Amino acid sequence: MPALDERHDYAPGLTLAVTAESLYLANLLLAPGLAFLVLLVLYRKRQATAPPLAAAHLAQTLSASLWAGLLLVVANLLILALGGYHAAHTWIILILYFTLAHSSLVVCGAIGLARALAGQCWRYPLVGRPLPADCPQGQQP
């Protein structure tokens, strides 16, 4: 049975690109850790043979997931360095982290998912990897 991408007039790698972006959002919102492991396995199995669209979205989501994890660790280390979880500043750091970092990563993931659904590549700002030269960009304004 042919893959979904072969049965329809989708851009090559569209299903894999959408899956990668969905797993990224699931890692941030629904199943942290578990969705990341699935994304990591998918990246390791498919990155080398994936079409440019899928390869770009796999690389972007893995990079952004690693940065999201690093930012979470940094926020926790900052809390510990400033006196632990029982100090008053803990809530300030957590609110700033979730308001600035986490929500920004979620918005970027939503944009990435929309681009994947449209069959276009998109580079995550600041944390994204360079896009392949043959990756479909869509119409630029």
Residue 122, in any domain of the structure: no
pLDDT value, residue 67: 94
Residue 137, in any domain of the structure: no
Q: How many folded domains does the chain comprise?
A: 1
Using one digit for the tens of pLDDT, what is the confidence trace for 42-90? 999 998 899 999 999 999 999 999 999 999 999 889 888 888 888 888 8
Look at residue 141 and tell me whether its pLDDT is greater than 60: no
Residue 61, in any domain of the structure: yes
Residue 141, in any domain of the structure: no
Look at residue 3 and tell me whether its pLDDT is greater than 50: yes
Residue 110, in any domain of the structure: yes
How buried is residue 67: exposed, middle or buried, by Cβ count under 10 Å (0-12/13-18/19+)?
middle
The residue range of the domain holding 108 is 4-117
Residue 86, in any domain of the structure: yes
Residue 17, in any domain of the structure: yes
| Rounded alpha-carbon distances, angstroms, from residue 25 to 28, 30, 44, 45, 117 | 5, 8, 19, 20, 14
Residue 133, in any domain of the structure: no
